[in-house]
Chains A and B, each alone.
Chain A
Amino acid sequence: MTQATDMRPSVPMDADIIIVGCGPAGMTAAIELAEANRSVIVLDMQPTPGGQIFRNLEDNISQQSSDRQALLAALGPAYRAGADLIRRFRASSRIDYRPLTTVWEVRPDGTVGWLRGMDAGYLRATTVILAHGAMERPVPFPGWTLPGVMTAGSVQTLLKAGNLKPTGNVVLAGTGPLLLLLATQLHKLGVKPTLIARTDRFSDGLRAMRYLRRNGLLPVVKGLGWLAQLKRSGVRMTSGVSDLAAEGERKVEAVSFTVKGRRVRQPCDLLVVHDGIVPAIDIPNGAGLALQWDQTNASWRPRTTSDGLASSALPPDLQPERCVVRITGDARRIGGAEATIAHGRLTAQAILAELRKGDGISSKSQQAVDRTLSVRPFLDAAFPPGLSAKLPDDNTIVCRCEELTAGALREKIRAGFGNMDALRGETRCGMGPCQGRNCMITAARLIEEDRGACGSTPPVFRGRPPIRPLPLGALAGLTGLDPSATELLTLEDKPEHDVEATSDVPAE
């Protein structure tokens, strides 16, 4: 254990660095820091290292059965490529890896609230790295809450870690490399999608050509390979679709959409949707860190320096002396596995330089970040957000938790609840278990629609801890509390006269 070296001498530090998330970015940073003799705690929600991209990789490569070999072959070499990183992560004795652990609070001063089972507490470190990754862009459309409507990422998770593949009529709808990758993976596993309904158009691909860079050619060639393969296999594909809707009573029974001015209906058992990937901003927003609007990716992302240092957006009286949170990987900026590995290394080097333990950021590391991100402008242009391009109609559910429709929100916004927190307080939008993860962007856009504001930074719900559910039993037993910041309240604080008043009541 390392002793405190900063401005909070009363509370001992639990580690030099706490890393939230154990995907490629988090693992890379952890390995770099541990090799420089820093103590590292890694907190992750999943049971094994790898993040979503290398999900369950250790288990899949350890099994020799032909089924697993077929699965590995279908998932492709990019999945297997994580094996060495995971091995090095596991081998480091200076990394205190804590799986199945949820983070429900991060403070800019380096305090992290965690939950594992029914145990919870706070940990502190000189530096906190957020490497908690991305999520799929939430897209409300009619019927998106029906059983049998799932995201592309969720189906891929079931392939990697659930030993499950879809059956029956499978329709894929939306846009983005992940949708096409999943389609090829499914096909290799003997699941031929009935239809791939793409929102992107041929013209998007043409427009994207001018963003092609030599360093970004390989991923593009790979993508064209997937398309060629799907075409050869006779998978039906249509592009330029809009107005997607899932139909059904208790589960999805059909999907319909508009293409070339015509309404198409296709029966299905599973509708897989995807509209690109965005940084998960739940932790940064809950920590009061500054966010910015990324117009090309149509998403929020945390405002950071190029080496990942975040800044606090809290009001002056809540400002920490110094913000010690850094953000890396897809949580900072969408880039994919190689880009997150490159930036994870760069972030670790920046931290070591700050601790005067390293030579600082090497030019090689900086070049790796630039190289791995060079394909992004092409991808952003080739696969623009499609399902979310238009705001939902009045009957579509926006808030999945509280089942609030766009119409209900529009009515309240028109009635004067025109800022995010007022709208949340009035309607409960964003107050359910998901805490706004799925509805925040749409609620913000509905407010902008009412204001006639376009192209500005959409407003956010004020995030407050706990940002994930914390059982009362776990809260009651919190460890790692800061004694100087803890106030003890007991029953003795209750006014005395309450007791006297009740004694006057005659006994029955």
Chain B
Amino acid sequence: MFSPIAPLTHSITVYLDDQPISASKGESVAACLLRAGVPFNRLTPVSGAPRLPYCMIGQCFDCLVEIDGIGNQQACLTIVRDRMRVRRQNGAAIALEHSAQ
């Protein structure tokens, strides 16, 4: 869906669901995930539908991810840090399924 305009400079490493991916210093987590081409950054808590960033300016809250262990962080407002650990959110429905097993 997106491709880099210029080659990555000042590349750092971010962990997405424990897999290393490269990120560009100063970019938002949301931009980093879109470049990585993830199909979704979260599944909704109600129906489990996939979502990707929609507004990119902190208004829609669709880009929520877990960052360094804290959930529901706005990926479009968070700047990547070296060795940051980002997790996609899998929705309450799936979380409940796991706890019931």
Contacts and interface: CB of A to CB of B under 8 A. Distances in A.
The prevalent SS among residues of A at the interface is loop
B3 A167 contact: yes
A148 B61 contact: no
A71 B7 CA distance: 13
Interface in A158-198: 158-159, 161-168, 189
A217 B43 CA distance: 47
B5 A67 contact: yes
B27 A162 contact: yes
Contacts of B95: none
Contacts of A100: 77, 79
A163 B59 contact: no
A469 B71 CA distance: 11
Contacts of B20: none
A35 interface: no
A157 interface: yes
B61 A147 contact: no
Nearest to A249: B50
A234 interface: no
Contacts of A59: 26
Contact of B2 (A47, A166, A438): A166
Nearest to A401: B61
B2 A148 contact: no
A148 B1 contact: yes
Given A400-B60, A403-B46, A438-B60, A163 B55 contact: no
B59 A158 contact: no
A396 B52 CA distance: 18
A199 interface: no
Interface string A398-440: 0011110000000000000000000000000000111001100
B38 to A, nearest CB: 9
Contact of B77 (A45, A67, A403): A45
Nearest to A100: B79
A280 interface: yes
Nearest to A102: B77
Contact of A189 (B5, B28, B59, B70): B5
B39 A250 contact: yes
B6 A68 contact: yes
Given A70-B5, A165-B5, A251-B52, 19 more contacts: A67-B5, A67-B6, A71-B6, A148-B1, A150-B56, A151-B55, A153-B57, A154-B54, A154-B57, A158-B2, A158-B56, A161-B28, A161-B31, A162-B34, A163-B24, A164-B3, A270-B1, A400-B61, A433-B64
9 contacts: A145-B49, A147-B40, A158-B56, A163-B31, A163-B35, A165-B2, A250-B50, A433-B61, A433-B64
Interface of A: 45-47, 52, 59, 65, 67-68, 70-71, 100, 102, 135-136, 145, 147-151, 153-154, 157-159, 161-168, 189, 250-251, 269-270, 280, 400-403, 432-434, 437-438, 469, 471
